Amino acid sequence: NAGVTQTPKFQVLKTGQSMTLQCAQDMNHEYMSWYRQDPGMGLRLIHYSVGAGITDQGEVPNGYNVSRSTTEDFPLRLLSAAPSQTSVYFCASRIHGGSNQPQHFGDGTRLSIL
Amino acid sequence: EDQVTQSPEALRLQEGESSSLNCSYTVSGLRGLFWYRQDPGKGPEFLFTLYSAGEEKEKERLKATLTKKESFLHITAPKPEDSATYLCAVHPGASGTYKYIFGTGTRLKVLA
């Protein structure tokens, strides 16, 4: 059971480039989310989805797009990378109906924007 | 405003030296409070969920407790393998079903 899988693990981009961070889960979880983790700050929610075809913004959505075409996958897109988006990105999932249930996290993508 | 504050930021303990980590929260309603462990280069790993004041949960050397304003993670006779960053998160009740507020964590180092 793989859980939540994120790819790539590391990435370096130049300012203005675009890329997609991949996230897949095999637990049939309806709820999936993207966070960024920066030094001295708690995990901050970027976007989330409660099921295929349904997405919504979190606390820091600017500069990021998401889509959810399947239950398993929830990619995060940077359309025009900026140095302020240098961070560690985590994807998480949980059962949708269980709002008190914990989230399960992937091991992150470490992204540097030059 | 919903807020979670963890203290101390960092903690160094000798092996066997028990201590407690604190998570203070201010939220409009509480659906749940979560403790996670995060190792370097890894994602957060779930430890406990607490739902109501007075609740306690235990796992090996860890015990989590909850009051109306804060939670404690007690570590009894820690070992070097307990070294990690411990994160606290709350799931507010009144301000939206899908939002989780994370603290900045406590970095724990246990020396042999």
pLDDT-based confidence at B97, cuts 50/70/90? Answer: low
CA distance A30 to A54: 10
Least confident range of A19-23, A38-42, B11-15, B97-101: B97-101
CA distance A81 to A79: 6
A70 is written with which tokens?
Answer: 């399947």
Closest CB from B31, B32, B43 relative to A108: B43
- B98 CB within 8 Å of a chain A CB: yes
Closest CB from A41, A99, A106 relative to B97: A99
pLDDT at A95 over 90: no
The answer to whether the CB of A79 falls within 8 A of the CB of A21 is no
CA distance B27 to B69: 9
- A96 CB within 8 Å of a chain B CB: no
Cβ of A103 within 8 Å of Cβ of B100? The answer is: yes
- A55 CB within 8 Å of a chain B CB: no
Phi, psi angles (nearest 5°) of residue A85: -90, 5
Instruction: Choose among A63, A29, A71, A25: nearest CA to A47.
Output: A63
Q: What is the pLDDT of residue A101?
A: 80
CA distance B20 to A105: 25
- A56 CB within 8 Å of a chain B CB: yes
